[in-house]
Amino acid sequence: MAAPLPRDPIADAQRNWEEHGWADVAAPMAAITAIMRTQQILLARIEGALKPFGLTFARYELLALLSFARSGALPMNKASALLQVHPTSVTNAVDRLEGSGLVTRSPHPTDGRTTLIELTAEGRIVAKRATAVLNTEVFGQSGFDAADVDQLIRILGTFRRNAGDFAD
């Protein structure tokens, strides 16, 4: 782990923005940069917790999504839409999960264009165990207090809705 910096680099950037005549957008710049950095920190924690399972976050998300589907199966395009990633990213994740024996591909019964992704028995077990570890090691120790968690859910929920993620 790198030694902490003496000062917050994002606060410094905000000051730079203000001094260069961009005071009107300095705060949003700092907030957005902080989101980028926070994502990086959280992703590293998540990947670390998943490593023992041979999973990455992208693959875990797909596994978790399938485990919540009634039938344990979903069309590729549905998974792409729900995970909000490019279809090729799903292809990539399925290739690797299939290689690990955690999911299988099968043809859609009525639509020849569609491929169904299905959880294997082992995939279901791994999803359960990985979730337990993530809950304990990451989500249970997020470092956000309860009130801030609520704030984040509210603020980011509004943002995502305005960005066109969902209509709700």
Q: Give the one entry of DNA, a second copy, none that residue 92 binds, where binding means its C-beta sits below a cut-off of 5 to 8 angstroms depending on kind.
A: DNA
Entry field: residues in the chain:
168
Residues 135-164 that bind DNA (CB under 7 A): none
Q: Would you count residue 127 as binding DNA (CB under 7 A)?
A: no
Q: Would you count residue 119 as binding DNA (CB under 7 A)?
A: no
Sole binder of DNA in the list 16, 38, 39, 91 (CB under 7 A): 91
> b or e along 71-102 (b: 16 or more beta carbons within 10 Å of the residue's beta carbon)?
ebbbebebbbeebebeeeebeebbebbeebeb
The Cα 120–Cα 104 span in angstroms is 7
CA triple 117-122-128, angle to 5 deg = 90
| Local structure of residue 108 (DSSP, 8 states) | -
Residues 67-96 that bind a second copy (CB under 8 A): 68, 81-84
- The minimum distance between CB 19 and DNA, in angstroms, equals 26
Sole binder of DNA in the list 38, 39, 77, 106 (CB under 7 A): 77
The Cα 163–Cα 154 span in angstroms is 14
- Total residues in contact with DNA, by rule CB under 7 A: 29
Residues 45-74 that bind DNA (CB under 7 A): 56, 58-59
Q: Give the one entry of a second copy, DNA, none that residue 133 binds, where binding means its C-beta sits below a cut-off of 5 to 8 angstroms depending on kind.
A: none
The Cα 51–Cα 49 span in angstroms is 6
The amino acid at residue 108 is H
Residues of this chain that bind a second copy (CB under 8 A): 1-2, 4-11, 13, 16, 22, 24-25, 27-32, 34-43, 57, 64, 68, 81-84, 131, 134-135, 138-140, 142-144, 146, 148-153, 155-168
